[in-house]
Amino acid sequence: MKKNILFLFVLFFFGCSSQNQILLNLDTAKKLVQNYYESGEFDKECSTPIEEAKKELQKLKLNEKSLVVFDIDETALSNYNHTKEIGFGYVYSLWEEWLKKADAKAIPEVKKFYDWLIERNIKVAFITGRNEETYQATLKNLKDQGYVKFDTLITRNSSTKKIPAAEWKAQEREKLVNKGYEIVACIGDQWSDLVGGNTGIKIKLPNYLYIIE
Best CA proximity match to 205, nearest among 102, 70, 83, 86:
70
Minimum Å gap between C-beta 188 and Mg ion is: 6
Could you tell me which stretch among 31-39, 82-90, 105-113, 182-190 binds Mg ion (CB under 5 A)?
182-190
The answer to whether residue 80 forms part of the interface with Mg ion (CB under 5 A) is no
Q: Which is nearer to Mg ion, 176 or 193 (CB)?
A: 193
The site for Mg ion, by CB under 5 A, has a size of 5
What is d(CA 132, CA 89) in angstroms, rounded to the nearest whole number? Answer: 23
Contact status: 172 vs Mg ion (CB under 5 A): no
| CB of 5 vs Mg ion, minimal distance in Å | 11
Angle between helices 92-101 and 135-144 (to 10 degrees): 50
Binding segment (CB under 5 A) for Mg ion, from list 17-25, 92-100, 149-157, 181-189: 181-189
Residue 165 Cβ vs Mg ion, minimum distance, rounded to whole Å: 9
The helix/strand/coil state of 136 is: helix
Rounded to whole angstroms, the Cα distance separating 197 from 50 reads 20
Whether 77 and 105 have beta carbons less than 8 Å apart is answered as yes
- Could you say which of 99, 106, 134, 189 contacts Mg ion (CB under 5 A)? 189
User: Which of 60/160 has CB closer to Mg ion?
Assistant: 160
Q: Which is nearer to Mg ion, 75 or 199 (CB)?
A: 75
* Dist. CA 82–CA 99, nearest whole Å: 10
73 lines the binding site for Mg ion (CB under 5 A): yes
Interface residue with Mg ion among 68, 71, 99, 203 (CB under 5 A) is: 71
Stretch that binds Mg ion, among 14-22, 34-42, 68-76, 174-182 (CB under 5 A): 68-76
Give the nearest distance from C-beta 212 to Mg ion in angstroms.
7
Please answer whether residues 78 and 105 qualify as being in contact, where contact means their C-beta atoms are separated by less than 8 angstroms: yes
Q: Is 79:98 a contact under the CB 8 Å cutoff?
A: yes
Strands 211-212 and 5-6, sheet pairing: antiparallel
Phi, psi at 67, each rounded to 5°: -140, 140
Site residues (vs Mg ion, CB under 5 A)? 71, 73-75, 189
